[in-house]
């Protein structure tokens, strides 16, 4: 209940900020509905009030600090931060590259590139590309904060680790259920992505690697190449087209709607779940409340 309440507050915050952006754009004589980059700006503007609201939830309902959600150094300290900053993007890019390579090899699918005509060439384009990377890291960070941060750790208070992973991943998939061109395969892959990200959090005791993986994956799909990410298109560096059966290519939803990605994700889930470290003991409240206003 606490997690659902925080999600409702988050959507209300985003809605209020979106209305403000639309009114400003309309007053400037522009289309009140922002483009894809405007969506990333919306996430960035939501960060300060979301942090404040989460802090309030933790103080009132949970009686502990922000670090309990994974806002801390991963196991291994700063060396682990640097190691993950290198390894996580490489693994993500390798996964995406493997997906493209398999589609290029399959008999009924084709992968073609039309070069760099996506509007992100030259010095200005390179700067815009970096801004998009930062935007995707913020967007991924917000989603991780809500799902693998607050929700997952709230579930871990009462349920076993495996159940908390599955439940938070199911919620993650359902939240993508209204995205454009969503399919059953897309929901399955989003669920598997949630499991992978939760396992990264469990292994590192931090949100750091999950935020990196989430942000870099979205950036690679949508801005390095021109494929949709969860049904949404962004400015891109390379124009790449993938043709073939929707079950294999993901069609309008993008790679996350592809059964080929499902086959690649399952071994990754098994590898991350193999010999998982013992569950961390959920942190005890800093102040024991007399009554719980909202149950877990």
Mean pLDDT by 10 residues, the chain (296 residues): 92 93 84 78 94 93 88 91 95 96 93 76 83 94 96 90 95 91 95 97 94 96 90 85 93 94 96 83 52 44
Residues 6 or more apart whose Cβ sits within 8 Å of residue 224: 236, 237, 238
The length of the chain in residues reads 296
- The one-character DSSP state at 180 is T
**Pairwise CA distance, residues 161 & 256, whole Å:** 25
Residue pair 140/214 in contact by the 8 Å Cβ criterion: yes
Q: Given this model, what pLDDT does residue 234 score?
A: 86
Closest CA to 105 of 242, 267, 251, 237: 242
What confidence score (pLDDT) does residue 172 get? Answer: 95
- Please state, in angstroms and rounded to a whole number, the distance separating the CA atoms of residues 179 and 230: 6
Q: Would you say 135 and 44 are in contact if contact means Cβ atoms under 8 Å apart?
A: yes
Q: What is the model's pTM?
A: 0.90
Largest CA distance in the chain: 64
What integer pLDDT is reported at residue 283 of this predicted model? 53
pLDDT of residue 290: 46
Give pLDDT, residue 282. 56
Q: Which residues contact 108 (CB under 8 A, 6 or more apart)?
A: 244, 245, 248
Indicate the angle between helix axes 259-273 and 77-105, nearest 10 degrees: 150
Whether the Cβ atoms of residue 218 and residue 229 lie closer than 8 Å to each other: yes
DSSP assigned state of 170: H
């Amino acid at each position: 209940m606490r997690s659902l309440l925080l999600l409702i507050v988050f959507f209300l915050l985003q809605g209020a900020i979106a209305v403000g952006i639309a009114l400003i754009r309309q007053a400037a004589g522009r289309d009140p509905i922002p483009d894809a980059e405007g969506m990333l700006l919306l996430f960035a503007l939501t960060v300060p009030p979301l942090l404040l609201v989460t802090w309030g939830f933790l103080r009132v309902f949970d009686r502990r600090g922000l670090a309990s959600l994974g806002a801390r150094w991963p196991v291994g300290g700063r060396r682990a931060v640097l190691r993950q900053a290198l390894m996580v993007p490489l693994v993500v890019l390798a996964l995406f590259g493997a997906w493209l390579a398999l589609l290029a090899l399959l008999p009924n699918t084709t992968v073609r590139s039309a070069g760099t005509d996506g509007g992100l060439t030259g010095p200005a384009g390179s700067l815009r590309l970096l801004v998009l990377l930062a935007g995707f890291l913020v967007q991924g960070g917000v989603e991780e904060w809500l799902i693998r941060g607050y929700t997952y750790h709230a579930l871990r208070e009462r349920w076993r680790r495996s159940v908390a992973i599955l439940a938070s991943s199911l919620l993650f998939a359902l939240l993508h259920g209204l995205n454009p061109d969503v399919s059953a395969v897309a929901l399955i892959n989003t669920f598997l992505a949630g499991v992978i990200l939760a396992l990264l959090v469990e292994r590192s005791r931090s949100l750091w690697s999950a935020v990196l993986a989430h942000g870099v994956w979205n950036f690679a799909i949508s801005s390095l190449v021109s494929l949709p990410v969860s049904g949404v298109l962004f400015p891109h560096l390379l124009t790449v087209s993938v043709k073939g059966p929707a079950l294999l290519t993901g069609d309008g939803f993008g790679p996350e709607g592809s059964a080929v990605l499902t086959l690649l994700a399952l071994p990754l889930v098994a590898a991350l779940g193999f010999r998982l470290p013992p569950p961390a003991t959920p942190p005890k409240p800093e102040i024991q409340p007399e009554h719980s206003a909202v149950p877990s």
